[in-house]
Amino acid sequence: MPAPDVHIWFHSTEALDAAAIAAAVSVLSDEERARYRRFHFPRDARDYAAAHALLRRTLSGLDGRAPDRWRFDRTANGKPFLVDTGGFHAAFSLSHTHGMVACAVTTGPDAGGIGVDVECIDRDVAAGDIAARFFAPAESAHLARLNDKERRDRFFDLWTLKEALVKALGVSMAMSLSSLVFTIGPGGSVALDAPADINAPDWQFGLFTPAPRYRLAVAVRRSSVRDAQLILRSAADVR
């Protein structure tokens, strides 16, 4: 049997006007709206609302119910899941960074762990120092051999992959990131070396550039011997 498709949607938020933000807020739950109002900076509130609205609309596109009808709960580690699904089965993840939001969804009774992370990469980061502290020695040594631009770009490749996998596993970011060792091949292939309780062959990964200033990674637990089709689309293309 083929693996279920993974739908990955992204949306740039920097050009959203007040009407678009209000439309996003209108489909949120009362709890989500309360959290939206607690953000100190308008751009953080905007991105939060846009990300959660994008997830709701993506789920609605797959199931047909209105975006404001979805209900969520969280595990003890904070991983969200659907409640009152009416027989609709889906695994999902969402992410937002300054100016960009993304969600990943896969459906079906065998839908397993999925995680997505998007990051803005045109900011200054002490990539070598952060890697030395949080990454595996092999990853840190690899970064040290690169020039400044290559080091920053590969740092964000590794960081987004690690965070996507942590989200898919449903564990806290307090998990040792150095225990998740990624190797990225010349063609963009991704290999994982992980502790014994994480069966690396069970996982499929994708790396994408949704816009020039951003890097996106997705981690998907395989439910088939075949890789899932990772379908990346911009929400701006939908009218």
Give the ranges where the chain is alpha helix by DSSP (H): 18-26, 30-38, 42-63, 127-134, 137-144, 148-169
SS3 for 134-148 is HCCHHHHHHHHCCCH
What are the Cα distances from residue 96, in Å, to 49, 114, 151?
A: 10, 16, 23
Sequence letter at residue 116: V
Per-residue model confidence (pLDDT) at position 239: 46
Helix (H) or strand (E) holding 94: strand 90-97
The reported pTM is 0.93
Nearest 5°: the CA angle 123, 52, 156 is: 25
Domain ranges, ordered by start, for the chain: 6-237
Residue whose C-alpha is closest to residue 119's, from 164, 79, 86, 179? 164
Sign of CA pseudo-dihedral 165, 219, 27, 51: positive
Average pLDDT of each block of 10 consecutive residues along the chain (239 residues)? Answer: 81 95 97 96 96 96 92 87 85 95 87 90 88 93 93 95 93 74 91 92 95 96 83 80
Place of tokens 């489909």: 27
Task: Report the alpha-carbon distance of residue 23 to residue 28 in Å, rounded.
Answer: 9
Quote the DSSP letter at residue 202. Answer: G
Helix (H, G, I), strand (E, B) or coil at 196: coil
Q: Which CATH class is domain 6-237?
A: alpha beta
